[in-house]
Amino acid sequence: MPQFVKNENGWSYRSTWYITEIDPDSGKKVRKRKSKYVTGFATKRQAAIAASEFETRRNTGENILENPALFDYAEDYIELNVKNRVRPATLIAYRNSIKRIEDNFPNIPLKSITRSMFQAFLNQISIKYSKSTVNQTAVVFSQIMKLALADGIIVRDVTSFVQIPEKAQDKRKIDYLSLSDVKALVQHIKSNLSTSKVGPYFILTAIQTGARLSEIAALTWNDLTPTSIKITKQRNRDGIVSKPKTESSVRTVSITKELYNILQDLRVNKKKLIFEQPNGIVPDPSSLNFTLRRLLKECGIERHGFHFHSLRHTHVALLLNADVDILTISQRLGHKNVSTTTEVYAYLLDEKKKSEERKIKSVLETM
């Protein structure tokens, strides 16, 4: 039975069925899911008629998969080649890339896609998204087309020799709090702590460690010492605990004795996870962002769009302001290498460079 959905492109239908094939490695029969997605119909009735015609063709034995739509093929790629081999967070990133592909190629057969169409697609999304997002989407697109080439659906890889547009390589402006704003926020949090509400403790820890939300959420009492926290795992919003993002994300981050003492107050909740509330809930990104915005408002700090991950950026800004070297910062953040840090924080580093150049100029002017 086809599914019908109305979206910004009009009415659409998705027809799903299963086929049985012989696995070339095991020689056993395997059941595979296939689907076809078509959108752009003005009414649901038009979509229903088209879906009926398609299913009639399929049921009479016509080979309707010899030139599938890009999005249909991409969905199969996710289900068969990606879903069972990546972490949940990575799977979400893949699906986001597929969504961007769907928005720009809603019903285009694989064989109709050209290199210029792929380049135009990258040019278009580079206007809205960062370089890393455009790169990620390009990689997923390329993997899909290479698989289609291996399956014999297309005869050449149209993703070769394309370029990421220069506009996507612009340095992103990092959102962070000034030193005075951080001091005001930290003082406000310290003055209003309540062990029944762990959100402020969570936020304070992010400011002072630069750790990722998922890393803080996974911390247990065994990870905490008077001088450091050990980051060896991450916890997603569904409560699934897994290895950190990369091998370099496994690290020990130094903390102040004051933060250690403050976190000790949460032992009263008698939970295995440090930031688990008395009701057994660990704050998720939405609740933490809500708490953060409330605290900023109470401090009289107006920062539209400032969110929890911005605290990580704020931590980096504080360290740069204190003249901490970039290698130490990179290791503290758990980045794979220094180049990752310099790329992500290029904007902050440029600001730091301008500040240093002003110092040099000031020194020279006194000579």
pLDDT tens digit sequence for 282-295: 999 999 999 999 99
pLDDT tens-place string over residues 198-255: 999 999 999 999 999 999 999 999 999 999 999 999 998 888 898 887 889 999 999 9
Rounded CA separation 292/340 (Å): 27
Rounded CA separation 48/242 (Å): 43
| pLDDT score for 367 | 64
Residues of the chain above pLDDT 70, percent: 93
| pLDDT score for 233 | 95
> What long-range pairs does 88-97 form, CB within 8 A, spacing at least 24?
88/236, 88/238, 88/240, 88/242, 89/214, 89/236, 89/245, 93/136, 94/140, 97/136, 97/137, 97/139, 97/140, 97/141
CA triple 219-221-226, angle to 5 deg? 105
Q: Which residues are bridge partners to 14 per DSSP?
A: 3, 37
Rounded CA separation 311/4 (Å): 42
Please give the model's pTM, rounded to 2 decimal places: 0.61
Q: Compute how many other C-beta atoms are within 10 angstroms of the C-beta atom of residue 198.
A: 26
Helix (H) / strand (E) containing 258: helix 257-264
Domain-wise residue ranges, the chain: 1-63, 66-170, 179-357
Answer whether 71's CB lies under 8 Å from 102's CB.
Answer: yes
241-242 and 234-235 beta bridge pairing: antiparallel
CATH number of 66-170: 1.10.150.130
| pLDDT score for 316 | 92
| pLDDT score for 70 | 81
Rounded CA separation 77/82 (Å): 7
What's the mean pLDDT when you consider all of the chain?
85
| pLDDT score for 197 | 94
Answer whether 75's CB lies under 8 Å from 106's CB.
Answer: no
Q: What is the DSSP code (8-state) at residue 154?
A: -
Rounded CA separation 190/258 (Å): 11
Query: Low-confidence residues of the chain, pLDDT below 50?
Result: 169, 171
Give 179-357's CATH code, choosing from 1.10.10.10, 3.30.470.10, 1.10.443.10, 3.30.2320.80: 1.10.443.10
Domain 179-357 in the same topology as domain 66-170:
no
| pLDDT score for 172 | 55
| pLDDT score for 55 | 80
Rounded CA separation 249/273 (Å): 19
| pLDDT score for 261 | 97
